[in-house]
Amino acid sequence: MNFLNNAILAFNDFLWTYILIGMLIIVGLYFTFRTKFVQFRNIKEMFRLLNDGATNDKDKNSVSSFQAFCISTASRVGTGNLAGIATAISIGGPGSIFWMWLIALIGSASSFIESTLAQIYKEKDGDNYIGGPAYYMEKGLKKKWMGVLFAILITIAFGLVFNSVQANTIALSMNSSFGFNKTIIGAIITILTLVIIFGGVNRIAKVSSVIVPIMAIAYILVALFIVFKNITALPQVFKMIFENAFGLNQIVGGGIGAALMQGIKRGLFSNEAGMGSAPNAAATATVSHPVKQGFIQTLGVFTDTLIICSCTAFIILLSDVPLDGSVKGIELTQLAINSQVGSWGGIFISICILLFAYSSIIGNYYYGETNIQFITNKKIYLAIYRLFVGLMVFFGSLVSMDIVWNLADVFMGLMAIINLIAIVLLSKIAFKALEDYMIQKKSGIKDPVFKSSSIPELDDELTEWK
């Protein structure tokens, strides 16, 4: 097992160090400048659309823009926000938080492009829509093989590997706080998962739209309490973050590389910008213009990283806990919150982890389902996949944390590389869709409507936008 873990770790370091970090930054900056900073200049419109999606959900059989936001946020907001950020700090130091913020700000432009493309190239699936990178690779790039490769990777990564990560953290947290047996916890999570995922996308959307707002608000409120309790120490925390990200000691000791690597890795694992996962949720929404989901999913990146991840970072850095790597993962987060609010803090974190990670499991599952359907329409394969999801949830509850996290990093990296190539090649379509949306807004149209004829490069196959 140690040999396998070391081999995975070596490949993982090569993949991230020499390929992916550069791609994420270059592509994110290209999209940022090419869209004239779309992720910043349209913040007001993002919130307006999110509010409209939450209050104007008239069709009970379709997935609203708010529910699509909740499905993607359910996948985004999970162990990466609590355990992942703690791991980044314990390995890369406080400076990793700066790089996490930076990759979110840059990567949110990539999220806009991929989610807009997912909406443009979506297709009808009964009462709902289905789509994502595999679909725009086939329809937009005319590369079916590329779509199949991506579909296989995301199905394995999210449905199996990532869900093992989520289950692993739930079991570890429950065992640490309550002394519950990991096998029993794994069995309970597995049963609850199977009950939801056999209910289809509408059940997943409804569960996510309830769990996500509750868990996010509760966690933010506790984090704000801790911040205000230690408000005088907050400037020192920011100083620590920036000094560790750029300080002389870190340059001499190679600490900047560790901080950058951990910040970008854990940031991407958490917010998924450019990875090609959130577009699968974005495609499900019933909206009048693809750009609307581009805006909504961009807001999801900000919600995940700049708010939820920052909450975890401040809780840890405002607490007197060891940052030398002797304690890491969810145990570090629990130790930090216990030191601030007392023994109930560990219980609160365990409940948050249960809700965060469980919502991620069902959100991750849906990404796999979408891509199984891209590969084959035979229901037997979908049923087999669901059973394997349950098996991996149970397996993840029992195995070592390190090998699970390392496997997650490898699959995440491979997915991101393929998706980034695709969205760069198709980006001109998203740019023109954004231009069409802004022209309609400037002409006084409150809710722009998209027609495929507005972009000459789109072919007649896109029947959903005629």
pTM of the complete model? 0.83
Rounded Cα distance between 311 and 328, Å, is 17
Domain ranges within the chain, ordered by starting residue? 59-441
- CB of 50 closer than 8 Å to CB of 69: yes
- For every residue of 215-229, DSSP letters joined together read HHHHHHHHHHHHHHH
pLDDT at site 265: 67
CA distances from 436 to 49, 440, 454, 456 (A): 17, 6, 7, 12
The stretches in the chain having pLDDT less than 50 are 248-255
Residues 44, 59, 297, 312: what is their CA dihedral angle, to the nearest 10 degrees? 90
pLDDT of residue 396: 81
**Beta-carbon-side half-sphere exposure of residue 116 (alpha carbons within 13 Å):** 31
* Residue 413 pLDDT: 83
With tokens 């629990």, the residue in question is 334
Q: Would you state the pLDDT for residue 253?
A: 42
Angle at 81 between CA 75 and CA 83, to 5 degrees: 115
Level-2 CATH architecture, domain 59-441: Up-down Bundle (1.20)
Q: What integer pLDDT is reported at residue 150 of this predicted model? A: 94
- Number of residues in the chain: 466
Give the per-residue pLDDT at 120. Answer: 93
Q: Which of 35, 54, 89 is nearest to 333 (CA)?
A: 89
SS3 (DSSP) at 62: coil
Say if residue 364 is exposed, middle or buried (CB neighbours under 10 Å; 0-12, 13-18, 19+): buried
As a whole number of angstroms, the distance between CA 152 and CA 383 comes to 16
Q: What is the crossing angle of helices 379-396 and 344-375, to 10°?
A: 150
Q: Across-strand partners of 125?
A: 128
H/E element, 124? strand 123-125
Q: Which residues contact 51 (CB under 8 A, 6 or more apart)?
A: none
Residue 343 to residue 349: CA distance in whole angstroms: 11
List Cβ neighbours of 110 (8 Å cut-off, separation of 6 or more): 24, 27, 28, 31, 273, 274, 420, 423
- The pLDDT of residue 74 is 64
How many C-beta neighbours within 10 Å does residue 344 have?
10
pLDDT of amino acid 341: 80
pLDDT at 334: 78
